[in-house]
Structure 1
Amino acid sequence: MSTRPFRILGLQQVAIGGADKAPLRKLWVDLLGLTPSGTYRSERENVDEDIVVAGAGPFRVEVDLMQPVDPNGRPRVHDPALNHLGLWVDDLRAAVTWLEGQGVRFAPGGIRKGAAGFDVTFIHPKGNEQFPLGGEGVLIELVQAPTEVISAFEVLAKAQGAA
């Protein structure tokens, strides 16, 4: 195994789906107090989502509250309810190239702009014959971290090394 040419910096998002996002919004916004940040809708991705956030600055974490545009369509963004986890990565293209070389299967679509405007790609939940490694049942979104996030994590890493 060659040296990993990228770092996973932290959690960028958790995506939760339901047949109707209103109950999700009641829990996450009204009761738990997360802050609404935006919306995203894509017929192609079969998703209508509210984006809410916890935390601030480079350490904020999105919680995407998703419902399907078409309940019978695909992908089924509401099944399972915990749809996917998003991870900040410092070099998305290097990560994809290296992980594919290690046998990791990616979902169709390649690297593209995600709902929050960052480049993203998804590790498929299951491996196949050509790429035997997947997310072990979990859809994993890799998200290109912006400079602000990379710098903040570097400051923390240096501080921990000095402690």
Structure 2
Amino acid sequence: MSQTEQRPFRILGVQQIALGALDRARLEKLWVECFGLPITGTFRSERENVDEAILALGSGPFKVEVDLMQPLDLEKKPAVHQTPLNHVGLWVDDLPAAVAWLSAKGVRFAPGGIRKGAAGFDICFIHPKGSDEAPISGEGVLIELVQAPPEVVAAFDRLASSAASG
């Protein structure tokens, strides 16, 4: 990308960290019982082959979601327990623009396109491996792009503005 080319979206921060295991209860021992993170919801999907607990770390627009996941069926894909750090989610201010721009740059996206995620936000995934048609990837890491709600975009703008003037 040249210095003058404008990216039509911004990555605002970490939205989530997703951890997988064969048994979600073992993850909950550490994250809920030992660390004290509250469970704010659950999500179960045959299509995504996942049974997960959704936890919260922090608060407000900078809250990070921690998803503790186990597969519904060990024989099916996706295998949410492999690797244990399943994926990292990033807030983006304009998901459709990001997907279009990144696709044009040669970024490979996982099948499924933009869709509703477990927390109700529009999401899509950057594939962990490139292909001949789309060689840019997460290089072994699945990356979830998450449409930031207006309050997260506004909080990011306020923070960026105060940092620039301070």
TM-score (norm 1): 0.99
Structure 1 position 71, deviation (Å)? 1.4
- Residue type at the aligned position of 2:103: E
Q: Tell me the matched-pair count.
A: 163
Counting only pairs closer than 5 Å after superposition, residues 71-110 of structure 1 correspond to structure 2 as 71-110=74-113
Gaps of 5+ in 1: none
* Alignment partner, residue 122 of structure 1: 125
Gaps of 5+ in 2: none
Identity of aligned pairs, percent? 65
Structure 1 position 72, deviation (Å)? 1.6
For residue 62 of structure 1, the aligned residue among 65, 74, 90 is 65
For residue 22 of structure 1, the aligned residue among 20, 25, 35 is 25
Secondary structure of 1:50's partner? strand
Structure 1 position 112, deviation (Å)? 0.2
TM-score (norm 2): 0.97
Spell out, residue by residue over 1:14-62, the C-alpha distance to the aligned partner (whole angstroms, 9 max, x if none).
Answer: 0000000001001000000111100000001100000001101111001
Asked whether 1:48 is paired with 2:59, we answer no
Aligned CA RMSD, in angstroms, stands at 0.6
Segments ≥4 residues shifted beyond 2 Å: none
Q: What is the distance in 2 between the residues matched to 1:29 and 1:150?
A: 29
